[in-house]
Structure 1
């Protein structure tokens, strides 16, 4: 029964009326990315859910904003996750067009094809060299059977490039970040199976002859078996790069004579795991100052490094990425505590918002702010962000000792990756739950990035164990403190976070419900049926395949459905090449065969992650109905639990 106190509705936690509907969230804005200068021009990308997830390339020139190559989907599928799908220099603009995968030059009246379509070639991390008439790129060649071949290639800006480009560098399994110095020296990243780029990555340089399109005098200058060196950037003939050789990804400089100097001593990571191309953690101003974004205590704020001194640039930014600079102007992708992401430009004495990801849907009083929380874990302290329920139209706040003693249900979020990080920036996907009366715990479990190499390496060989234990311990920590209802705990996650969700549901009694978004149910199937970039990822997280096949089987949720005793919602993209749909289908069939409630929704035209507005809307509505049916009011999921579950 609803009662009114002072004109306000006193509703059950989880059933509050919210101004943020699934539809308004789905179409609320755009996904901003890769702000970058070309002289006086400023470019960026916009992922548009209302247009089927199409990525548009935007340009601001002389105060006017326009779309470059209208209608094109500026997207790369290299490594499946893409990024770095465009480049601009001296007015020359080249894009990767999806779904054909071809490169187009788009700075003229009509697009000019630089490569033929549908030949199995994918391109990313583009670098335009107008003076040489070239564009450099990472090419992923799917034209032949077997594992695709990755190389660094050069393509002519004025030729059809029917050969897909001239191979400059080959031999490693992966390449990224080709950067050319004014003196003609090329630097790049490369790494090899079974390492991921955050495990072991090299910075390599070589002399590039633009006439013969050859690279010689090749030298490894940074990185190694237990060192990840990334993001080369030239300052004259001095090479800047990031390395985690001290346990944190700090900034270094290598002189033309080979002397290496550590430039930052922050005991903080300056870079994020290299999942996508196009993200720049360091920028160089016209005066030679460096713009960096160290992550300290979970927050990443822009900072200027000038003559060894660290100068803060903003105080209200809680997370940032994709830095660039031109002259005395600095641009960044900035997250805030209470408003959507913005592209912000900074210059001496001035700050302006170039583009906001979306409008403000509700007033500040509705916003739940992230609270940094930590709790003891098996491998040491674990970190996360807690968001309390907030709704000014309801006469009820989070309390440990309210008149009725009621506390809110909790949704635990296990992020994807698992080598990744959940920031504390404003997220409508979190506010959707908190405005309805759910508490949210976003867990940066052991193995997450942003806390140094040791924290990330906790998960080596322990995936499906430590991450699960950390999520359960975090939920129990909040329940024991009286902030949430320990009988009304749910867990949700996507991709690797979906795996953690499924493992938690099949190895513990902690949760009353769970939702897996394109999650992994069978590690054995994933080890033998996934894309190249992650094909050896599990070697470090679980164990070498097939030698550790018994461990894979034991840690696969599909093999422990008999231990499941709560309802499950599974959301899956039909075109997912990272976690194939058969994973979701097999898991749903096994749960249903046990007689438990399970709902599987497969979205046509969606891959690994939901891009279309209609998909986002339908998925959220299904998840909300799922939680409200099980957790809201007097429900604790007991009506849906199986009596066959063993105790413990």
Structure 2
């Protein structure tokens, strides 16, 4: 298997570090070249991929150095050449649909349709530099404010239109109307989009078949989230482009709870999708139109998709036929890692492909190759181009063409490798999971009788998953002598429906207990110091942090990044997508009160630091301010840092850097027996 990397590495840490006598110094005091500047500069993110008519990849990347602006970039013709920016400087490709966005652009031939962040309008642009349409032109009306958002669009070539999910806040900003609409692509006056599908609370994945005669989509209703219960429908398009007949393919049987997702048409016009009926795991299925029946392509206790937090998930695709057989290229997660496999017409199980990624997000099919968004314990989030040998379908080339941290090899000798751990929960017989990163620095070691401080991180969502991949933010801690652990508490995704539903009506209990159990497991195993346990989390993870500090006495300090202090207030302020989410996670009115940290300030026993974006619409700033004032009045050491222009999740390099540095200083002052080196 050949492997190459497109980005050059300016320097590498000399291998002589292995030959130097290590310095004895307390954990937490070690010097490291992985600075907060390095971390903030390596915080680029991918927002989607697609292939143009020449077979070259287009990707959407966010840039902290440009205040989080999101830019479409084209793969260069030759390996080693610089990628080409497509998006003009006055545009940023991002949609705010459902607040979390995703699915902000699509390509057909050399034409891109994208959502512009500032006004949320759709624009059409040619990526052919010689075209007269290389500058974006608007496709949707200007409503004076960014009140209408579009996402998850596809081209409908039969009717020369673009079909997308629309979120319309003109009549009600707190409960917008969601529909599937069509937008004309002709060169004429801009008109209001035409509604194709309406009546449900939410829609996703509008997908048109190759002949433009059928359209599939996913829909769901309150109080469900799309991973709780959803429906897959197919509509038949008439000669005027309207839907004159529709049929429910999956999710409409009241006796069968399932959440179909990711519908996709093959080149032969066959409909495939992913659902978790019966087994509780998202597996690949095929629809047999004549009988309106569905059948699994392959059954496995593994997840072939992930929760629909953002639009545009792409977990599988169709490879052109090889030797008369068609293949589905798919990724799935099992036991905390991802696998990439091929399923053929005559196969009973996937043939696994050997690639260096142990973590895979999305797949994009190219010409004579495919592209994988992935990572591993040794690779940061990256995009790789993969070529298969035509006869035996083995990997013959694996080339990384984009990396969130292109100079990552500079620091490779400082990396701590994660290991998946299982630990007992407070429920007899149950296990939970985490990724543990021990402290590591090739130049240092500690005194023999010292154990390291621990930073435990609870992920957001809470229906999300921590993954054991190379993350410079984590290495910032471990290379300075901290142990770090990412917990996949009960309620996390990646382990099937039963595991995910452990959190139903028990948010603030199961997640907190599992985080504390994980810390105890690491203490009991001798991996960390029981007197120096810290906890941090973002969003829902920030809530778990606050709840752990209010209701348990495990940790000595905490950091909450745009976390939740008052569940009832959150419910009242919540945007439409999640407006009933926490009802399912919490329960009745008494539960809302008893699990809100703000109501039990007197129980807080240790200092906390809070970080908050002032433009956050998911967890409004009042949450951080309210708990800050209450703790301050009590006399508890507490700090609040607020950022103008930041939303839910920090995107600006200077704020990412400052947040990391302040957490380090805060924790070091409270649990340190050391001086922070830098």
**Aligned pair partner of 2:109 in 57, 74, 90:** 90
* SS of residue paired to 1:406: coil
More displaced 10-residue stretch of structure 1: 142-151 or 452-461: 142-151
SS in 1 for 2:528: coil
1:344-390: CA deviations, max 9, x gaps? 11112222222122221634321111111011113410001000000
The alpha-carbon deviation at position 129 of structure 1 amounts to 2.7
1:161 Cα deviation from its structure 2 partner: 7.0
Give the whole-Å Cα distance in 2 for the aligned partners of 1:29 and 1:633.
30
1:332 matched to 2:379: no
Q: CA deviation at 1:59?
A: 1.7
Larger RCO: 1 or 2 (CA < 8 Å, sep 6+): 2
The alpha-carbon deviation at position 6 of structure 1 amounts to 6.5
Aligned mates of 2:187, 2:134 — CA distance in 1 = 18
Match of 1:617 among 624, 645, 657: 657
- The answer to whether residue 243 in structure 2 is matched with residue 215 in structure 1 is yes
Residues 254-310 of structure 1: per-residue CA shift (max 9 Å, x gap): 122123221122210111110001120111111231111110110012211123242
CA contact (8 A) 1:337 1:425 kept: yes
1:471 maps to what in 2?
Answer: 515
Which residue in 2 is equivalent to 1:353?
Answer: 400
550-559 or 128-137: which moved more?
128-137
Partner residue of 1:166 out of 187, 194, 209: 194
Query: In structure 2, which of residues 417, 420, 433 is the aligned counterpart of residue 372 of structure 1?
Result: 420
Q: By how many angstroms is 1:131 displaced?
A: 4.3
Shift of 1:341: 1.8
- Distance in 1, matches of 2:432 and 2:87, equals 46
Q: 1:550 aligns with which of 586, 590, 595?
A: 590
TM-score w.r.t. length of structure 1: 0.93
Contact 1:232 1:241 in 2 (8 A): yes
> Could you tell me which of 27, 38, 44 is aligned with 1:30?
44
Moved more, 71-80 or 8-17: 8-17
TM-score, normalized by length of structure 2? Answer: 0.89
Q: Which residue of 2 aligns with 1:305?
A: 343
1:259 is matched with which residue? 293
Aligned with 1:109 (options 134, 143, 147) = 134
Cross-structure match for 1:198: 227
Distance 1:519 1:323 in 2: 32
Give deviations 1:296-341, integer Å, cap 9, x for gaps: 1100122111232422222421101111213431111010212322
Give 1:389's aligned residue. Answer: 439
Give the distance between the partners of 2:20 and 2:232, measured in 1 at CA.
Answer: 64
Provide structure 2 residue ranges, at least 5 long, that are not aligned to the other structure.
Answer: 1-18, 127-132, 389-395
**Distance in 2 between the 1:347 and 1:391 partners?**
36
* SS state at 2:445 partner: coil
CA distance, structure 2, for counterparts of residue 473 and residue 336 of structure 1:
26
CA contact (8 A) 1:573 1:602 kept: yes
| Structure 1 segment 50-199 matched on structure 2, within 5 A | 50-60=65-75, 62-63=77-78, 65-71=83-89, 72-107=91-126, 108-117=133-142, 118=145, 120-145=147-172, 146-158=174-186, 162-183=190-211, 184-199=213-228
- Contact 1:125–1:176 (CA under 8 A) maintained in structure 2: yes
1:638 aligns with none
- Where 1:291 maps in the other structure, the secondary structure is strand
**Shift in alpha-carbon separation, 1:269–1:558, aligned structure 2, 3 A:** same
Aligned counterparts of 2:368 and 2:342: Cα–Cα separation in 1: 12
CA RMSD in angstroms comes to 1.7
Pick which of 56-65 and 310-319 moved more. 56-65
Cα deviation, residue 217, structure 1 = 1.2
Deviations 1:463-511 (A, max 9, x none): 0000000000000100011110011000000000000000000001100
CA distance in 2, matches of 1:164, 1:96: 16
Q: In 2 relative to 1, CA 6–90 (structure 1 residues): closer, same or farther, beyond 3 Å?
A: closer
* Residues in 1 aligned to 2:41 and 2:547: alpha-carbon distance in whole angstroms: 32
2:273 corresponds, among 228, 241, 244, to 241
1:14 aligns with 2:28: yes
* CA shift digits 1:98-146 (9 cap, x unpaired): 1110111011222111113335110000112344210111000011135
In structure 1, what is the Cα distance between the partners aligned to 2:445 and 2:28?
14
Matched, 1:438 2:482: yes
The equivalent position to 2:551 in structure 1, one of 499, 504, 507, is 507
| Equivalent residue number for residue 272 of structure 1 | 306
TM-fit CA distance, 1:616: 0.1
Among 482, 507, 511, the alignment partner of 2:526 is 482
Task: Provide the rounded CA distance (Å) in 2 between the counterparts of 1:128 and 1:220.
Answer: 23
Q: Distance in 2 between matches of 1:448 and 1:58?
A: 33
| Residues 116 and 122 in structure 2, CA contact (< 8 A), matched pair in contact too | yes
Kept in 1, the 8 Å contact 2:29–2:674? The answer is no
Match of 1:250 in 2: 283
CA distance in 1, matches of 2:644, 2:308: 28
Residue 551 (structure 1) shift: 1.0
- Whether the aligned pair in 1 keeps the contact of 2:155 and 2:163 (CA below 8 Å) is yes
Counterpart of 2:602 in structure 1 is 562
Q: Could you tell me whether the CA contact under 8 Å between 2:24 and 2:445 is conserved in 1? A: yes
Preserved CA contact (<8 Å) 1:152 1:175: yes
- Partner of 1:229 in structure 2? 260
SS in 1 for 2:667: helix
Instruction: For residue 612 of structure 1, report the CA deviation from its aligned partner.
Output: 0.5
Q: Secondary structure at the match of 2:500?
A: helix
Per-residue deviation at 1:7? 4.6
CA distance in 1, matches of 2:170, 2:549: 41
The answer to whether residue 57 in structure 2 is matched with residue 42 in structure 1 is yes
8 Å contact 1:166–1:213 — kept in the other structure?
A: no
* Cα offset, 1:10, TM superposition: 1.9
Change in Cα spacing, 1:436 to 1:161, as seen in structure 2 (3 Å) is: farther
* Separation of aligned partners in 1, 2:411 and 2:611: 31
Q: Is the CA contact 2:441–2:480 (under 8 Å) kept in the aligned structure 1?
A: yes
Which whole-Å CA distance do the structure 1 matches of 2:423 and 2:86 have between them? 48
| Corresponding residue SS for 1:538 | helix
Pairing partner for 1:429 from 457, 460, 473? 473
